[in-house]
Amino acid sequence: MHDSDFEIIQRVLAGEMRAYAELVDRHKDRAMTLAMRLLKNREDAEEALQDAFVRVFKALDRFEMKASFATWFYRIVFNVCSSALGKRERAYDISIDEDNLEAALSTPPAGNPEIEFDSSEFQQLIHEEIERMAPAYSAILTLFFIQELGYEEIVDVTGLPLGTVKNRLFRARTMLRVAVMNRMSESVGAKDNGSIKQEIIQ
Amino acid sequence: MSHLTSSRIFQLLDGVLDASEKQRVSNHLETCGECRQELAVQREIARSIKHQPLVVPSPRFTDAVMRRALIYERQSAFVHFLVQHGTMLALIIGLTIIAFSLSTMEGWDTAKETIHNLQPEKKISQYYTVAGRQLTDYLQSIREKTIDVVGWENLRLFLLTAVIMLTLALFDKLVIRQFMRTRV
Protein backbone atom coordinates (compact mmCIF):
# COMPACT_ATOMS: atom_id res chain seq x y z
CA MET A 1 0.00 0.00 0.00
CA HIS A 2 1.24 3.45 -0.90
CA ASP A 3 1.96 6.05 1.75
CA SER A 4 -0.35 9.05 1.92
CA ASP A 5 0.99 12.51 1.09
CA PHE A 6 1.23 13.24 4.81
CA GLU A 7 3.27 10.12 5.47
CA ILE A 8 5.66 10.96 2.64
CA ILE A 9 6.06 14.50 3.99
CA GLN A 10 6.85 13.11 7.42
CA ARG A 11 9.48 10.81 5.93
CA VAL A 12 11.06 13.76 4.09
CA LEU A 13 11.05 15.84 7.26
CA ALA A 14 12.63 12.94 9.12
CA GLY A 15 15.57 13.16 6.71
CA GLU A 16 14.61 10.65 4.02
CA MET A 17 15.08 13.02 1.14
CA ARG A 18 14.50 10.44 -1.57
CA ALA A 19 10.90 10.19 -0.41
CA TYR A 20 10.30 13.59 -1.95
CA ALA A 21 10.77 12.04 -5.40
CA GLU A 22 7.70 9.89 -4.65
CA LEU A 23 5.68 13.00 -3.92
CA VAL A 24 6.91 14.64 -7.13
CA ASP A 25 6.08 11.56 -9.20
CA ARG A 26 2.66 11.34 -7.63
CA HIS A 27 1.62 14.91 -8.44
CA LYS A 28 3.72 15.98 -11.42
CA ASP A 29 1.32 14.98 -14.23
CA ARG A 30 -1.75 16.69 -12.80
CA ALA A 31 0.31 19.72 -11.81
CA MET A 32 1.91 19.84 -15.28
CA THR A 33 -1.55 19.80 -16.82
CA LEU A 34 -2.50 22.83 -14.73
CA ALA A 35 0.78 24.58 -15.58
CA MET A 36 0.18 23.96 -19.29
CA ARG A 37 -3.35 25.33 -19.08
CA LEU A 38 -1.96 28.49 -17.53
CA LEU A 39 1.18 29.00 -19.57
CA LYS A 40 0.21 27.33 -22.87
CA ASN A 41 3.86 26.47 -23.50
CA ARG A 42 5.56 23.23 -22.55
CA GLU A 43 8.99 24.66 -21.77
CA ASP A 44 7.63 27.49 -19.62
CA ALA A 45 5.23 25.14 -17.85
CA GLU A 46 7.96 22.65 -17.00
CA GLU A 47 10.30 25.34 -15.73
CA ALA A 48 7.57 26.91 -13.58
CA LEU A 49 6.59 23.52 -12.24
CA GLN A 50 10.19 22.76 -11.25
CA ASP A 51 10.28 26.05 -9.37
CA ALA A 52 7.00 25.18 -7.68
CA PHE A 53 8.20 21.76 -6.55
CA VAL A 54 11.42 23.24 -5.17
CA ARG A 55 9.40 25.87 -3.29
CA VAL A 56 7.17 23.16 -1.89
CA PHE A 57 10.26 21.27 -0.74
CA LYS A 58 11.68 24.35 0.97
CA ALA A 59 8.38 25.03 2.70
CA LEU A 60 7.56 21.47 3.75
CA ASP A 61 8.51 22.08 7.36
CA ARG A 62 5.97 24.89 7.50
CA PHE A 63 3.14 22.81 6.07
CA GLU A 64 0.40 22.20 8.61
CA MET A 65 -0.50 18.53 8.60
CA LYS A 66 -4.12 19.40 9.37
CA ALA A 67 -4.49 21.29 6.10
CA SER A 68 -5.21 19.80 2.67
CA PHE A 69 -1.95 19.08 0.89
CA ALA A 70 -3.61 19.34 -2.55
CA THR A 71 -4.94 22.85 -1.87
CA TRP A 72 -1.61 24.03 -0.44
CA PHE A 73 0.39 22.44 -3.24
CA TYR A 74 -1.79 23.73 -6.08
CA ARG A 75 -1.80 27.21 -4.53
CA ILE A 76 1.99 27.26 -4.87
CA VAL A 77 1.84 25.86 -8.43
CA PHE A 78 -0.84 28.38 -9.36
CA ASN A 79 1.10 31.31 -7.89
CA VAL A 80 4.39 30.37 -9.54
CA CYS A 81 2.69 29.88 -12.92
CA SER A 82 0.71 33.10 -12.52
CA SER A 83 3.91 35.02 -11.80
CA ALA A 84 5.55 33.45 -14.85
CA LEU A 85 2.50 34.34 -16.91
CA GLY A 86 2.57 37.89 -15.55
CA LYS A 87 6.24 38.30 -16.48
CA ARG A 88 5.70 36.88 -19.94
CA GLU A 89 2.48 38.63 -20.80
CA ARG A 90 2.09 41.89 -18.92
CA ALA A 91 -0.59 42.86 -21.38
CA TYR A 92 -2.62 39.75 -20.72
CA ASP A 93 -6.23 40.75 -20.51
CA ILE A 94 -9.36 38.83 -19.74
CA SER A 95 -11.13 40.59 -22.60
CA ILE A 96 -9.19 38.47 -25.10
CA ASP A 97 -11.30 35.60 -23.95
CA GLU A 98 -14.50 37.62 -23.98
CA ASP A 99 -13.85 38.19 -27.66
CA ASN A 100 -13.40 34.46 -28.22
CA LEU A 101 -16.61 33.76 -26.38
CA GLU A 102 -18.55 36.32 -28.36
CA ALA A 103 -17.11 34.92 -31.59
CA ALA A 104 -18.08 31.41 -30.57
CA LEU A 105 -21.60 32.46 -29.67
CA SER A 106 -22.13 34.37 -32.88
CA THR A 107 -21.07 31.41 -35.02
CA PRO A 108 -24.17 29.57 -36.19
CA PRO A 109 -24.39 25.81 -35.58
CA ALA A 110 -22.55 24.05 -38.36
CA GLY A 111 -25.17 21.37 -38.72
CA ASN A 112 -22.57 18.58 -38.83
CA PRO A 113 -23.65 14.98 -38.46
CA GLU A 114 -24.21 13.78 -34.89
CA ILE A 115 -21.12 13.20 -32.84
CA GLU A 116 -20.79 10.02 -30.83
CA PHE A 117 -19.96 11.11 -27.28
CA ASP A 118 -17.50 8.28 -26.88
CA SER A 119 -15.78 9.03 -30.14
CA SER A 120 -12.23 10.25 -30.31
CA GLU A 121 -13.58 13.11 -32.39
CA PHE A 122 -15.62 14.32 -29.39
CA GLN A 123 -12.61 13.99 -27.07
CA GLN A 124 -10.49 15.86 -29.59
CA LEU A 125 -13.08 18.62 -29.89
CA ILE A 126 -13.14 19.17 -26.12
CA HIS A 127 -9.33 19.06 -26.04
CA GLU A 128 -9.02 21.69 -28.76
CA GLU A 129 -11.54 23.97 -27.10
CA ILE A 130 -9.77 23.78 -23.74
CA GLU A 131 -6.46 24.51 -25.46
CA ARG A 132 -8.01 27.52 -27.13
CA MET A 133 -9.41 28.99 -23.92
CA ALA A 134 -7.64 31.82 -22.11
CA PRO A 135 -5.75 30.68 -18.99
CA ALA A 136 -8.31 32.38 -16.75
CA TYR A 137 -10.90 29.83 -17.82
CA SER A 138 -8.95 26.70 -18.67
CA ALA A 139 -7.12 26.83 -15.32
CA ILE A 140 -10.36 26.97 -13.33
CA LEU A 141 -11.79 24.18 -15.47
CA THR A 142 -8.69 22.06 -14.78
CA LEU A 143 -8.75 22.72 -11.05
CA PHE A 144 -12.40 21.70 -10.93
CA PHE A 145 -12.39 18.65 -13.17
CA ILE A 146 -8.81 17.32 -13.15
CA GLN A 147 -7.63 18.30 -9.67
CA GLU A 148 -11.20 17.68 -8.47
CA LEU A 149 -11.20 20.68 -6.14
CA GLY A 150 -14.45 22.22 -4.89
CA TYR A 151 -15.42 25.87 -5.34
CA GLU A 152 -14.06 26.88 -1.93
CA GLU A 153 -10.80 25.06 -2.53
CA ILE A 154 -10.39 26.82 -5.88
CA VAL A 155 -10.97 30.12 -4.08
CA ASP A 156 -8.20 29.13 -1.68
CA VAL A 157 -5.85 28.13 -4.51
CA THR A 158 -6.42 31.12 -6.78
CA GLY A 159 -7.24 33.86 -4.29
CA LEU A 160 -10.19 34.81 -6.51
CA PRO A 161 -13.60 35.66 -5.04
CA LEU A 162 -16.14 32.83 -4.99
CA GLY A 163 -18.40 34.62 -7.47
CA THR A 164 -15.55 34.97 -9.97
CA VAL A 165 -14.66 31.29 -9.66
CA LYS A 166 -18.25 30.23 -10.29
CA ASN A 167 -18.63 32.68 -13.14
CA ARG A 168 -15.46 31.55 -14.90
CA LEU A 169 -16.40 27.91 -14.51
CA PHE A 170 -19.84 28.63 -15.93
CA ARG A 171 -18.40 30.49 -18.88
CA ALA A 172 -15.79 27.83 -19.58
CA ARG A 173 -18.46 25.15 -19.63
CA THR A 174 -20.66 27.31 -21.83
CA MET A 175 -17.82 27.77 -24.32
CA LEU A 176 -17.48 24.01 -24.53
CA ARG A 177 -21.23 23.62 -24.90
CA VAL A 178 -21.28 26.11 -27.76
CA ALA A 179 -18.41 24.30 -29.46
CA VAL A 180 -20.20 20.98 -29.14
CA MET A 181 -23.45 22.53 -30.35
CA ASN A 182 -21.70 23.83 -33.42
CA ARG A 183 -20.62 20.31 -34.30
CA MET A 184 -23.81 18.47 -33.45
CA SER A 185 -26.81 18.15 -35.65
CA GLU A 186 -29.62 20.54 -34.81
CA SER A 187 -31.80 17.71 -33.54
CA VAL A 188 -29.30 16.87 -30.79
CA GLY A 189 -28.89 20.46 -29.55
CA ALA A 190 -31.57 21.08 -26.97
CA LYS A 191 -31.07 24.81 -26.88
CA ASP A 192 -30.25 27.33 -29.52
CA ASN A 193 -27.36 29.73 -29.46
CA GLY A 194 -29.66 32.60 -28.66
CA SER A 195 -30.92 31.17 -25.39
CA ILE A 196 -27.42 30.36 -24.14
CA LYS A 197 -26.20 33.78 -25.13
CA GLN A 198 -29.15 35.29 -23.32
CA GLU A 199 -28.19 33.37 -20.16
CA ILE A 200 -24.62 34.63 -20.33
CA ILE A 201 -25.78 38.18 -20.78
CA GLN A 202 -28.08 37.77 -17.77
CA MET B 1 -43.10 25.51 -18.88
CA SER B 2 -39.64 27.12 -18.87
CA HIS B 3 -36.56 24.97 -19.27
CA LEU B 4 -33.81 24.53 -16.72
CA THR B 5 -31.03 27.10 -17.03
CA SER B 6 -27.51 25.89 -17.84
CA SER B 7 -26.51 27.09 -14.42
CA ARG B 8 -29.14 24.85 -12.78
CA ILE B 9 -27.97 21.86 -14.85
CA PHE B 10 -24.36 22.48 -13.79
CA GLN B 11 -25.44 22.66 -10.15
CA LEU B 12 -27.23 19.34 -10.52
CA LEU B 13 -24.17 17.73 -12.12
CA ASP B 14 -21.87 19.17 -9.45
CA GLY B 15 -24.11 17.90 -6.66
CA VAL B 16 -24.49 21.30 -5.03
CA LEU B 17 -28.30 21.52 -5.06
CA ASP B 18 -30.11 21.07 -1.76
CA ALA B 19 -32.62 18.21 -1.44
CA SER B 20 -35.76 20.22 -2.21
CA GLU B 21 -34.20 21.93 -5.21
CA LYS B 22 -32.87 18.64 -6.48
CA GLN B 23 -36.36 17.17 -6.25
CA ARG B 24 -37.84 20.08 -8.22
CA VAL B 25 -35.20 19.69 -10.93
CA SER B 26 -35.76 15.91 -11.06
CA ASN B 27 -39.51 16.44 -11.43
CA HIS B 28 -38.91 18.79 -14.31
CA LEU B 29 -36.51 16.37 -16.00
CA GLU B 30 -39.12 13.61 -15.88
CA THR B 31 -41.41 15.62 -18.09
CA CYS B 32 -38.97 17.58 -20.26
CA GLY B 33 -37.08 15.75 -22.96
CA GLU B 34 -35.15 18.82 -24.06
CA CYS B 35 -33.69 19.39 -20.60
CA ARG B 36 -32.88 15.67 -20.30
CA GLN B 37 -31.02 15.96 -23.59
CA GLU B 38 -29.19 19.05 -22.37
CA LEU B 39 -28.27 17.30 -19.13
CA ALA B 40 -26.91 14.35 -21.11
CA VAL B 41 -24.76 16.64 -23.28
CA GLN B 42 -23.39 18.50 -20.25
CA ARG B 43 -22.70 15.24 -18.46
CA GLU B 44 -20.74 13.97 -21.45
CA ILE B 45 -18.78 17.20 -21.70
CA ALA B 46 -17.87 16.93 -18.00
CA ARG B 47 -16.90 13.28 -18.46
CA SER B 48 -14.79 14.17 -21.46
CA ILE B 49 -12.94 16.93 -19.56
CA LYS B 50 -12.17 14.49 -16.75
CA HIS B 51 -10.84 11.95 -19.23
CA GLN B 52 -8.61 14.34 -21.13
CA PRO B 53 -5.06 12.96 -21.18
CA LEU B 54 -2.80 14.55 -18.59
CA VAL B 55 0.25 16.48 -19.76
CA VAL B 56 3.33 14.51 -18.76
CA PRO B 57 6.55 16.39 -18.06
CA SER B 58 9.84 15.22 -19.58
CA PRO B 59 11.34 11.95 -18.25
CA ARG B 60 14.14 13.78 -16.40
CA PHE B 61 11.73 16.10 -14.59
CA THR B 62 11.84 14.41 -11.17
CA ASP B 63 15.66 14.16 -11.31
CA ALA B 64 15.90 17.86 -12.09
CA VAL B 65 13.67 18.76 -9.14
CA MET B 66 15.59 16.47 -6.81
CA ARG B 67 18.92 17.95 -7.92
CA ARG B 68 17.71 21.43 -7.05
CA ALA B 69 16.21 20.25 -3.78
CA LEU B 70 19.53 18.59 -2.88
CA ILE B 71 21.42 21.83 -3.52
CA TYR B 72 19.02 23.61 -1.16
CA GLU B 73 19.39 20.86 1.44
CA ARG B 74 23.18 21.20 1.43
CA GLN B 75 23.14 24.92 2.06
CA SER B 76 24.13 25.96 5.55
CA ALA B 77 21.65 26.92 8.24
CA PHE B 78 22.89 30.52 8.01
CA VAL B 79 22.03 30.69 4.28
CA HIS B 80 18.59 29.20 5.00
CA PHE B 81 18.07 31.83 7.68
CA LEU B 82 19.05 34.62 5.28
CA VAL B 83 16.81 33.27 2.53
CA GLN B 84 13.84 32.91 4.83
CA HIS B 85 14.25 35.91 7.12
CA GLY B 86 16.67 38.15 5.21
CA THR B 87 14.07 40.66 4.16
CA MET B 88 12.71 40.99 7.67
CA LEU B 89 16.24 41.39 9.01
CA ALA B 90 16.96 44.08 6.43
CA LEU B 91 13.73 45.86 7.33
CA ILE B 92 14.62 45.91 11.02
CA ILE B 93 18.12 47.22 10.27
CA GLY B 94 16.66 49.84 7.93
CA LEU B 95 14.16 51.08 10.48
CA THR B 96 16.88 51.20 13.13
CA ILE B 97 19.01 53.38 10.85
CA ILE B 98 16.04 55.69 10.22
CA ALA B 99 15.43 55.97 13.95
CA PHE B 100 19.11 56.68 14.57
CA SER B 101 19.22 59.19 11.76
CA LEU B 102 16.19 61.04 13.12
CA SER B 103 17.45 61.00 16.68
CA THR B 104 20.70 62.75 15.71
CA MET B 105 18.92 65.71 14.16
CA GLU B 106 19.14 69.12 15.70
CA GLY B 107 16.25 69.84 17.98
CA TRP B 108 15.55 66.21 18.72
CA ASP B 109 16.31 66.65 22.41
CA THR B 110 13.84 69.52 22.55
CA ALA B 111 11.26 67.35 20.85
CA LYS B 112 11.90 64.55 23.32
CA GLU B 113 11.50 66.99 26.17
CA THR B 114 8.20 68.14 24.65
CA ILE B 115 7.01 64.58 24.36
CA HIS B 116 8.10 63.83 27.92
CA ASN B 117 5.93 66.63 29.22
CA LEU B 118 2.84 65.49 27.33
CA GLN B 119 -0.04 63.57 28.86
CA PRO B 120 0.65 59.81 28.55
CA GLU B 121 -2.36 59.13 26.30
CA LYS B 122 -1.19 61.80 23.85
CA LYS B 123 2.38 60.63 23.62
CA ILE B 124 2.17 58.14 20.78
CA SER B 125 0.38 60.39 18.29
CA GLN B 126 2.54 63.35 19.34
CA TYR B 127 5.65 61.24 18.92
CA TYR B 128 4.83 60.54 15.28
CA THR B 129 3.81 64.16 14.71
CA VAL B 130 7.15 65.40 16.05
CA ALA B 131 9.08 62.74 14.14
CA GLY B 132 7.28 63.67 10.93
CA ARG B 133 7.92 67.37 11.51
CA GLN B 134 11.59 66.68 12.18
CA LEU B 135 11.92 64.73 8.95
CA THR B 136 10.11 67.40 6.93
CA ASP B 137 12.27 70.15 8.47
CA TYR B 138 15.38 68.19 7.72
CA LEU B 139 14.46 67.61 4.06
CA GLN B 140 13.41 71.28 3.80
CA SER B 141 16.79 72.36 5.19
CA ILE B 142 18.58 70.23 2.65
CA ARG B 143 16.48 71.61 -0.17
CA GLU B 144 17.13 75.19 0.95
CA LYS B 145 20.79 74.37 1.58
CA THR B 146 20.61 75.92 5.06
CA ILE B 147 22.46 72.96 6.53
CA ASP B 148 25.83 71.64 5.67
CA VAL B 149 25.40 68.54 3.54
CA VAL B 150 29.05 67.68 3.60
CA GLY B 151 30.43 65.09 5.96
CA TRP B 152 28.12 63.54 8.50
CA GLU B 153 25.06 65.37 7.20
CA ASN B 154 25.80 64.15 3.73
CA LEU B 155 26.22 60.60 4.96
CA ARG B 156 22.97 60.89 6.88
CA LEU B 157 21.18 62.09 3.77
CA PHE B 158 22.59 59.17 1.80
CA LEU B 159 21.58 56.72 4.50
CA LEU B 160 18.13 58.20 4.79
CA THR B 161 17.53 57.98 1.04
CA ALA B 162 18.88 54.45 0.87
CA VAL B 163 16.79 53.37 3.81
CA ILE B 164 13.61 54.89 2.43
CA MET B 165 14.19 53.10 -0.87
CA LEU B 166 15.01 49.86 0.90
CA THR B 167 11.92 50.16 3.04
CA LEU B 168 9.71 50.75 0.01
CA ALA B 169 11.25 47.80 -1.79
CA LEU B 170 10.76 45.57 1.23
CA PHE B 171 7.23 46.83 1.72
CA ASP B 172 6.54 45.88 -1.85
CA LYS B 173 8.06 42.44 -1.38
CA LEU B 174 6.62 41.71 2.04
CA VAL B 175 3.21 43.30 1.88
CA ILE B 176 2.05 44.34 -1.57
CA ARG B 177 3.03 41.15 -3.36
CA GLN B 178 1.41 39.08 -0.66
CA PHE B 179 -1.93 40.75 -1.15
CA MET B 180 -1.73 41.62 -4.84
CA ARG B 181 -0.81 38.29 -6.33
CA THR B 182 -0.82 38.19 -10.10
CA ARG B 183 -4.33 37.36 -11.09
CA VAL B 184 -5.31 35.24 -14.05
**pLDDT (tens digit, 9 = 90+) per residue, B118-177?**
666 666 666 667 777 777 777 777 677 665 555 666 667 667 767 776 776 676 666 554
**pLDDT (tens digit, 9 = 90+) per residue, B42-57?**
999 999 999 899 999 9
CA distance B70 to B85: 21
pLDDT over threshold 80, residue A164: yes
CA distance B68 to B49: 33
Q: In angstroms, what CA-CA distances link B168 with B99, B116, B161, B163?
A: 16, 31, 11, 8
Instruction: Give contacts of B41 with chain A, Cβ < 8 Å.
Output: 177, 180, 184, 188-190
CA distance B15 to A151: 12
CA distance B5 to A197: 12
Instruction: Give contacts of B184 with chain A, Cβ < 8 Å.
Output: 38, 82, 85, 92, 135-136, 139, 158
Tallying the residues shown for chain A, one arrives at 202
Size of interface A-B (CB pairs under 8 A): 135
Question: Does A124 contact chain B (CB < 8 Å)?
Answer: no
Tallying the residues shown for chain B, one arrives at 184
- Residues of B in CB contact (< 8 Å) with A are 3, 5-7, 10, 16, 34-35, 37-38, 41-42, 44-52, 54-58, 61-62, 64-66, 68-70, 72-73, 181-184
The rounded radius of gyration (Å) of the Cα atoms in chain A is: 19
Q: What integer best gives the mean pLDDT of chain A?
A: 79
Burial class (CB in 10 A: 0-12, 13-18, 19+), B183: middle
Q: Which of A46, A85, A126 sits opposite B58 (nearest CB)?
A: A46
The DSSP result for A85-150, as a single string, is HHHH-TT--THHHHHHHHHHHHSPP--PPPPPTTSHHHHHHHHHHHHHS-HHHHHHHHHHHTS---
Instruction: Classify residue A2 by its DSSP letter.
Output: P
Instruction: Give contacts of B42 with chain A, Cβ < 8 Å.
Output: 173, 177
Chain B residue nearest residue A128, CA to CA? B52
CA distance A59 to A51: 12
> In Å, how far is B105's CA from the nearest CA of chain A?
43
Burial class (CB in 10 A: 0-12, 13-18, 19+), A118: exposed
User: CA neighbours within 13 Å on the CB side: how many for B90?
Assistant: 19
End-to-end CA separation in angstroms for chain B: 39
The DSSP result for chain B, as a single string, is -PPPPHHHHHHHHHT-S-HHHHHHHHHHHHH-HHHHHHHHHHHHHHHHHHTSPPPPPPTTHHHHHHHHHHHHHHS-HHHHHHHHHHHHHHHHHHHHHHHHHHHTSTTHHHHHHHHHTS-GGGHHHHHHHHHHHHHHHHHHHHHTT-S--STHHHHHHHHHHHHHHHHHHHHIIIIIHHHSPPP-
Band the pLDDT of A2: cuts 50, 70, 90: low
Between B3 and B94, whose confidence is greater? B3
End-to-end CA separation in angstroms for chain A: 50
Is the Cβ pair B182, A146 closer than 8 Å?
Answer: no
- pLDDT the model gives residue B50: 92
- pLDDT the model gives residue A187: 41
Between B105 and B72, whose confidence is greater? B72
Instruction: Give contacts of A49 with chain B, Cβ < 8 Å.
Output: 57, 61
CA distance B14 to B119: 63
Q: Which of B5, B49, B73 sits opposite A199 (nearest CB)?
A: B5
The rounded radius of gyration (Å) of the Cα atoms in chain B is: 32
Query: Averaged over A99-114, what is the pLDDT?
Result: 44
